[in-house]
Homo-oligomer: A and B are copies of this chain.
Amino acid sequence: MFSNRISDVPKSFIREILKVSADPSIISFAGGLPNRDLFPVENIKDATNKVFDIVGPDVLQYSNSEGYKGLREQIAKRYKSFYGIDVSTKNILITNGSQQGLDLLGKIFLNEGDSVAIEEPGYLGAIQAFGVYKANFLPVTVSEGGMDVEELKSVLQNNEPKMIYTVPNFQNPSGITYTNENRKDVAEVLKGSDVYLIEDNPYAELRFSGSNKKSFMEFLPEHTILLGTVSKTIVPSFRLGWIVAPDIVMEKLLVAKQAADLHTNYFCQRIVDQFLIDYSLDEHIEKIKKMYLSKKQNMVNAIKKYFPEEIEFTDPEGGMFLWVTLPKGISSMDLFDMAIKKNVAFVPGDPFYTNKTGVNTFRLNYTNSDADTIDKGIKILSECIRDIL
């Protein structure tokens, strides 16, 4: 009865985990939610009222598929000030969060069985979005410092992927950031091929320490597609993201966007635009970074205090997640089953791999618990780890 593309998709594993974790008696490091205490509610409220007053009834009318020009201009400016790269307003398409960007890219690029190179471990939402278009995934290992360039070369020798998907800054799930050298090397491997590199970039602005890295756009300008979002810096519920793509790709994206939902919520585009005009995004982001850094430190300290020494973990310079590696052969799924009985939740590594199960890695989110809860939860988790070892 159903299409092949949807019949093969299993019920979302992570939705089930998040459902379990939603129980308030659970200490959850499972979600990926920004901390609600940081939402600029009053400023958004003021911006909203200003939009009603300035724009009037037209703010409730249908709008164009590309998105509001003023907002797209501000996004272009931010690329210039943050990354020093030139992005033209006409190459920006406003989407319903970057997740829709992934869906539209899958839609315009992938025939059944087409290949997509993807970080391993990689972002679950990308695996889901491209999986629906029946992508043939080519995983390339990512570890401290970035993507394994030799592995990438060998993958490209045997295959012609249409895209390569990356989250080069504070990656979800691992928290890893590619070094500038690694980016250059990856770009060098791709140069001359037809592969589009997707730089999905929700976390770059949330850097606590170290220096900002360069965008792939600098190394591979003709074949880089950028995905962005306000979900981690301003507001998630608006579902406001964007794609930056070359003209030839943008033309197809626009057709796909129109068929998908005509356009993104115009009212909320105007609110975010007004917020960016009236308030300092930099000042707001400083507050987020301060809080997240402190929570990250709490978690790293607790891990150092409680976890057995042989357990490896990343210590990210920004973003929302860190990544734990258990000794070989230990399943993080089994650990999850033990931990949830003691009311602690996290996301086992499995859904972040395209073709492996029973992996020994898992993701911890640190942005949504206070210091005491982090200490308590990591302590309980360490007891489970000792039990399973």
Contacts and interface: CB of A to CB of B under 8 A. Distances in A.
A388 interface: no
Interface string A39-52: 10100110011001
B255 A238 contact: no
A65 B128 CA distance: 14
B260 A99 contact: yes
B5 A107 contact: yes
A305 interface: no
Given A39-B60, A52-B41, A1 B262 contact: no
A81 interface: no
A262 B258 CA distance: 18
A261 B97 contact: yes
A3 interface: yes
A78 interface: no
Interface SS, A side:
helix
A33 B263 CA distance: 14
A292 interface: no
B62 A41 contact: no
A100 B263 CA distance: 10
Contacts of A2: 108-109, 252
B6 A255 contact: yes
Contacts of A238: 60, 265, 267
B237 A61 contact: yes
Interface string A132-174: 1100000000000000000000000000001000000000000
A236 interface: yes
Interface in A219-257: 231, 235-239, 251-252, 255-256
Contacts of A236: 60-62
A15 interface: yes
A268 B266 CA distance: 11
A131 B259 contact: yes
A1 B33 contact: no
A206 interface: no
A196 to B, nearest CB: 9
Contacts of A162: 1
Interface string A102-114: 0100011111001
Contacts of A45: 49, 52
Nearest to A95: B261
A277 interface: no
Contact of A36 (B52, B61, B114): B61
A41 B48 CA distance: 12
Contacts of A132: 107, 256, 259
A59 interface: yes
Contacts of A194: 1
A95 to B, nearest CB: 8
14 contacts: A1-B109, A3-B108, A6-B107, A6-B252, A11-B251, A36-B61, A45-B52, A60-B236, A61-B236, A62-B231, A103-B259, A103-B261, A129-B259, A267-B268
Interface of A: 1-6, 9, 11-12, 15, 33-34, 36-37, 39, 41, 44-45, 48-49, 52, 56-63, 65, 95-97, 99-100, 103, 107-111, 114, 125, 128-129, 131-133, 162, 194, 231, 235-239, 251-252, 255-256, 258-268
Given A95-B261, A99-B259, A99-B260, 4 more contacts: A1-B109, A15-B258, A96-B96, A238-B265
